[in-house]
Amino acid sequence: MYLNGEYIDHSEAKVSVDDRGFLFADGVYEVVRVYDGRPFLMEPHVVRMKEGLRALQIDTSCIQDLEQVAERLLRENGITDGDATIYAQVSRGVAPRKHAFPPDCTPTIYVAAKRFNNHPTSYFEDGVAAVTVPDNRWTRCDIKSIALLPNVLANQAAHAADAFEALFVKDGVVIEGSHSNLFAVLDGTLITYPKSNYILAGITRALVIELARELGIPFAEAPLYWERLGDVEELFLSGTTTEVMPITKVDGRPVGIGRVGQVTKRLQEAYAQRAHPTASVSA
The catalytic residues are 144
Residue spans of alpha helices (H) in the chain = 20-24, 42-55, 66-76, 121-126, 149-160, 203-214, 262-275, 277-282
Gap between the Cα atoms of 23 and 221, Å rounded: 37
- Phi, psi dihedral angles at 158 (to 5 degrees): -65, -45
Gap between the Cα atoms of 31 and 69, Å rounded: 14
**Residues 264/234, Cβ–Cβ less than 8 Å:** yes
Gap between the Cα atoms of 254 and 212, Å rounded: 24
Gap between the Cα atoms of 205 and 196, Å rounded: 13
- Phi, psi dihedral angles at 161 (to 5 degrees): -95, 15
The burial class, CB within 10 Å (0-12 / 13-18 / 19+), for 149 is: exposed
The burial class, CB within 10 Å (0-12 / 13-18 / 19+), for 72 is: middle
CB atoms within 10 A of CB 97: 11
